[in-house]
Structure 1
Amino acid sequence: MFLFMQLYLVLVLIRPQDYPEWENIGIPVLPIVLLIAFLFWLPSRNKDLSAPQFILLPAFLVTLMLSQVANGWTGGALVQLSTFGPGILAFLVLSQVATEQKRVISVMALIVVCSAVLSFHGIQQVANGIGWTGVGLSQETRIQYVGIFNDPNDLGLLFIMALPMAMFLSARGGLLGLRRLFWWSGGGLLMYGIYLTSSRGALLALIAVFGVWIWRRRGALTAMLLGAVALGGIMMLPTRMGEIDASESSAAGRVDAWYSGFEMFIAHPLFGIGPGNFADNNFNLTAHNSFVLVLAEVGIFGYTIWLAFVCYGFMMMSAILRHEPELSGEAEAADWQRDQSLAMTLLLAQAGFFTAAFFLSRSYVILLYLLAALVLGHYTGVRQRYPSLPRYELSRDLLRWPAVALGSIIGLYILVKILLVTS
């Protein structure tokens, strides 16, 4: 079961099925491998489906389907089931099989290695103008890959997510220091890959990752000061990476798209305009913001559910970092320290992912739900080992999430209005 999920991860990230010489075979390899993993997991007795995410994610799928029906396309409900359903299966299985420390670490290692391969592909593109996939540079300057990573921003999103994992793995010694050197090299490839994507969202996400890390170690004030210095330095760069300005044409277009998203939400507040319909209502331009995209396309119901799903991941990792269980012996203390290090790594990965996703329309991508599955899997495993860790129940938070959703909508709307004025 775990082996098939690892194979599924490789197929999602490396994507050999999308290479020109393979794509005409006609065998849906990815769904088949996922289905096999699910069928192996199905008879397992060690199921724990008590976490709120196991209610929220299917509920979000139902909302996606209802949104299509509410907008006059009944057949769209089946389309959403077929397109978003596999993501739920992947989340379900991975979150259940990756509960042990060694499995969480194994998945992280797999993500880092696959991401480094994609970065190496980008280096080959820069050197030769084309990679082994047959794909060349985007806009003649930015690296890209095949399939779901054919946008440089998506590559940057993956590299940002994998970077904290590489740093965690590099902290583990052994093999005369060769293991540390290997993961340091992987982290270096990811950093260089981020640079080669020329993704400003990824660069801001990189600042966020280091900012959260410094905040956890040195406090919020130090993190904010260093973050401001880093942002100021980046804005002085004489390249596309330095064009982080609300008045710059690309940034201004994003702000306009965000405002259009609010207009769509106001016109269809309950179920939105329907998944996948944002560009059709905005001159073929997407939202460039994962939060605005959900709000506009699925309305207040879908947005509240999706936001709760996202927030629980942050809350769970923060709970592990705050928790102080009773420990007996050095071995258990070392084990708990490793659990906390994993939680910190996953917190940083989420911070990087959602900072970048704030400037991209990536609300429904599989990468998000694989990361969320790994987060939940780690939390479930830690709670099994330390039952004193707080348990989250959706029934206790039924009033919290509508209030949080409303507050975030108001805050985002105020931000958009300020950016419109300053641009």
Structure 2
Amino acid sequence: MSYKFLLAICVYLPFQLAISPTPEIDLASIRILIILLFFSWILEGLKNKKLILPAKIPLLLVFSFLFFCALSLAVSKNINWSFRKLAFLFSIFPLYFIASALIKNGSEYKKIIKLLVWGAGLSAIIGLVQFIIQFVAGLDYSMKLWSLVIRPFLGTAFSQAVMDNPSWLVNLSGKTVFRAVSLFPDPHMFSFYLGMVIPWSIALYFEEKKKLYALIFIVLLAADFLTFSRGGYLGLMAGIIFWLLFSGKKIIAAHKKKFAFGLIILFLIIFTKNPVSRRLVSSFDLGEGSNQGRLETWKQSFEVIRKNPLLGVGLGNYPLEIKPSADYREPIYSHNLYLDIAAETGILNAVIFIALLLSAIISFIKKSARNNFFMAGAVSLAIFSAHSFFETPLFSVHILPLLLIIISLSHDNQKAYNI
């Protein structure tokens, strides 16, 4: 029963609805579903008198990360903000323990991956349709339409915050374009999700030899490009470099023609003048306005970390260090996940989080020695890790559950405890 519930969550991740009990409060339904699944898993464990937990090292890292997040409340200026952020983490992180316990064999593993890929594929199609509408009905109409479409998925308060601080638009050679967002709050989180799933779609194509997965890969990649997220582009580049370093030779030798075709397409995208290549090149232009703003934000973050190295300024309290009058939903953050964690919960906790990512990547690399399919997990986390240098996805109801599921897939040596 719990495993089927987990499968449903994997499909539901890109399409989750929000619950708005009051105009000021939005609650992601995925948080409620994860808590229900957690209790279902606990009850099954009590019934079977056995509870399966992850391997000791990642388990210790997860508990340590959550411990320091909670400990940072001791230095919070706004304890209410900290409690809200901590409640979010404690409502999502049970998914890590559940997935680690319920995915026991290769068949269950594949089902999880397939559902994640299919769900992302459908979400990408929605994003492509949303992107095309502006060229048929006009930019203003498409923006108004999508603000209505997306409201049930974000909630009343959050959707208003998104509209007040829009990142949906991008200027491309003097023309304003509505970026692909699908049912996500912004193109950056949409790009995160697609980037983390893309390696699995390729792995399924080579594993199952089905053209469906090649088609899904193309759809995912196209939608990712149309987010015009430079962090997403750099994440994909990091993933490609990582793959070439650790398993590229093996795959290239077996699929020379396909690799050559992919290389030609990649060359055309990067080295011909087009919106994607221009956005990518602008990532390295330190004189560009948004890049200068990001560098200034990083300097501010380093200064906050320098002054508060041990416990940070308290979970969720970084905006108040930059702007004491900031509202809870005001988008003030480090534009770097590692700096955000260090600034709010201390340098040691940032190191713990990085160690959690590295342990999962290393585990996937070891598993790929038996079956190259598992290299997709390492590449997925490499894309996440690189993209996280430019965004903060930790409190995304879409990205954190996906990250925890992928990390749980890296484990081999779960341990059963009698209860």
Q: TM-score, normalised by structure 1?
A: 0.74
| Counterpart amino acid of residue 59 in structure 2 | F
Q: Output the amino acid matched with 1:243.
A: S
Partner of 2:197: 162
Return 5+ residue gaps in structure 1 as ranges.
Answer: 175-179, 323-335, 386-423
| Residue aligned with 1:172, SS | helix
Report the equivalent of 2:11.
10
Amino acid at match of 1:312: S
Instruction: State the one-letter code of the partner of 2:182.
Output: Y
Bigger relative CO (Cα 8 Å, ≥ 6 apart): 2
Tell me which residue corresponds to 1:398: none
Query: How far apart are residue 13 of structure 1 and its match?
Result: 1.7
Aligned-partner SS, 2:215: helix
Match of 1:126 in 2: 131
Instruction: Kindly report which structure 2 residues correspond to 1:14-163, keeping only aligned pairs within 5 A, or say none.
Output: 14-15=15-16, 17-18=17-18, 29-42=29-42, 43-44=44-45, 45=50, 47-75=52-80, 78-129=83-134, 130=142, 134-135=149-150, 138-139=168-169, 140-146=177-183, 149-163=184-198
Name the aligned partner's letter for residue 207 of structure 2: R
Contact 1:95 1:374 in 2 (8 A): no
Residues of 1 paired with 2:197 and 2:99: CA distance? 17
Distance in 1 between residues matched to 2:297 and 2:218, nearest whole Å: 34
Partner of 1:216: 246
**Residue 279 (structure 2) pairs with residue 240 (structure 1):** yes
Question: Counterparts of 1:112 and 1:218 in 2: how far apart (Å)?
Answer: 22
**Structure 2 residue aligned with 1:373, among 405, 410, 413?**
405
Deviations 1:164-190 (A, max 9, x none): 11111112346xxxxx12111110100
Pick closer, same or farther for the CA change 1:114–1:199 going to 2, 3 Å.
Answer: same
- Percent of residue pairs bearing the same amino acid type: 20
- 1:289–1:359: 8 Å Cα contact kept in structure 2? yes
Contact persistence 1:164–1:348 (CA under 8 A):
yes
Relative distance call for 1:371 and 1:307 in structure 2 (3 A) is same
Q: What is the alpha-carbon distance in structure 2 between the residues aligned to residue 282 and residue 72 of structure 1?
A: 13
Q: Residue 101 of structure 1 contacts residue 378 of structure 1 at CA under 8 Å; is this kept in 2?
A: no
Give the counterpart letter for 2:305 in structure 1: F
Q: What is the aligned partner in structure 1 of residue 309 from structure 2?
A: 269
Cα pair 1:156 1:197 within 8 Å, conserved: yes
Kept in 2: contact 1:235–1:242 (CA 8 A): no
Match of 1:251 in 2: 291
Other-structure match for 2:321:
281
Kindly tell me: are residues 285 and 110 of structure 1, through their superposed partners in 2, closer, same or farther at Cα, counting changes over 3 Å? same
Distance 1:159 1:240 in 2: 18
CA contact (8 A) 1:208 1:355 kept: yes
Tell me if the contact between 2:198 and 2:217 (Cα under 8 Å) persists in the aligned partners: yes
**How far apart are residue 88 of structure 1 and its match?**
1.4
RMSD, aligned α-carbons: 3.4
Shift of 1:343: 2.0
Alignment of 1:260-409 (within 5 A): 260-282=300-322, 285-322=332-369, 336=370, 340-366=371-397, 367-380=399-412, 383=413
Q: Is the 8 A contact 1:257 1:285 kept in 2?
A: no
| Cα contact 1:235–1:243 (8 A) shared by 2 | no
CA distance in 2, matches of 1:93, 1:280: 35
Q: Deviations over 1:114-141 (max 9, x none)?
A: 1111211112112223477724992142
- For the structure 1 residues 378 and 251, does the alpha-carbon distance in structure 2 shift closer, same or farther, using more than 3 Å as the test? same
Structure 1 residue 231: Cα displacement: 12
Confirm whether residue 171 of structure 1 aligns to residue 206 of structure 2: yes
Alpha-carbon distance in 2 for matches of 1:72, 1:19:
28
Q: Deviations over 1:266-316 (max 9, x none)?
A: 111111112222233335632111111111111123223222222211121
* AA aligned opposite 1:128: I
The offset of 1:56, in angstroms, is 2.1
Contact 2:19 2:28 (8 Å CA) reproduced = no
How many angstroms apart in 1 are the aligned matches of 2:80 and 2:319?
A: 20
**In structure 1, distance between residues paired with 2:56 and 2:274:** 45
Greater strand share, structure number: 2
Report the CA distance shift for 1:18/1:364 in structure 2 as closer, same or farther (over 3 A).
closer
Q: 1:141 to 1:76 in 2, by over 3 A?
A: closer
Aligned length: 352
SS in 2 for 1:118: helix
TM-score, with structure 2 as normaliser: 0.74
For the residue of structure 2 that corresponds to 1:102, the secondary structure is helix
Structure 1 pair 94/290, CA: closer, same or farther in 2 (3 Å)?
same
Question: Distance in 2 between the 1:27 and 1:253 partners?
Answer: 31
**What secondary structure is seen at the aligned counterpart in 2 of 1:47?**
strand
- Whether 1:200 and 2:237 are equivalent positions in the alignment is no
Aligned residues of 1:96 and 1:377 also touching (Cα < 8 A) = no
Deviation digits for residues 229-255 of structure 1 (CA, Å, limit 9, x no counterpart): 969946965633431122211112111
Taking the aligned partners of 2:297 and 2:180, their CA distance within structure 1 comes to 25
1:76 Cα shift?
A: 5.1
| 1:110 maps to amino acid | L
Relative to structure 2, which stretch is displaced further, 206-215 or 153-162? 206-215
Cα 1:350–1:301 change in 2 (3 A) is: same
CA separation in 2, counterparts of 1:384 and 1:267? Answer: 40
State the distance in 2 between where 1:85 and 1:173 align.
37
Instruction: Determine if contact 2:305/2:342 at 8 Å carries over to the other structure.
Output: yes
